[in-house]
Amino acid sequence: MENLIDRDPASLGLRSPEEKEALSVVLLALRERQKGDVEGFVATLDERVVYHDVPLPPAKGRGETRARAEAWHRAVPDLQIAVERVVVQGVAVAAMGRIRGTLRGDLFGRPGTGQSFDLPFAQLALVWRGRIAYVRDHWDFATLMRQVGWAGE
């Protein structure tokens, strides 16, 4: 399946400028996360962003969201994000795909194991005035635990 993360939003048949902008910002944020460019990622966020990785408490504001992104990057420097489908309606962008990588460092207070993971994800993002104001990421923590060897802890 084609990875949409690098596609030009104009090529995806969106009609309104608002939808094109929303999708552009969300895809840019995902590319920055994948590159490990935390500051580039944070630049896509509204000052009062709420970023909710559903297995975890929400990160509130750029500072908490930056810290969460830095922790992910340290732990999984080879993070890969594949966007398989998107749906855009107004300022809302829903994306689904897979996240993959190798757990090299500590994450969520648990040790790095050197083992790889491959998880499905679904994300809903709301874009306000050209910045991401809210994100809700859904991914399976239990499967991550099994794949990286934490399940026996």
Q: If you compute the radius of gyration of the chain from its CA atoms, what whole number of angstroms results?
A: 15
Q: What angle do CA 13, 93, 81 make, to 5 degrees?
A: 95
**Residue 2 confidence (pLDDT):** 80
Nearest to 109 by CA among 58, 60, 150: 150
Which residues on adjacent β-strands are paired with residue 126? 92, 134
Segment 20-68, tens digit of pLDDT? 999 999 999 999 999 999 999 999 999 999 999 988 899 999 999 999 9
Please state the rounded mean pLDDT for residues 137-144.
Answer: 93
Which residues on adjacent β-strands are paired with residue 102? 116
**Residue 26 confidence (pLDDT):** 97
**Residue 153 confidence (pLDDT):** 59
Measured CA to CA, the distance from residue 117 to residue 111 in angstroms comes to 14
Q: How many CA atoms are closer than 13 Å to the CA of 30, on its beta-carbon side?
A: 31
**Two structure tokens written together for 83:** 């966007």
List the domain boundaries for the chain.
4-97+122-138
Q: Report the DSSP pairing between strands 45-53 and 131-139.
A: parallel
4-97+122-138: CATH topology: Nuclear Transport Factor 2; Chain: A, (3.10.450)
The pTM of this model reads 0.92
Segment 100-132, tens digit of pLDDT? 999 999 998 999 999 999 999 999 999 999 999
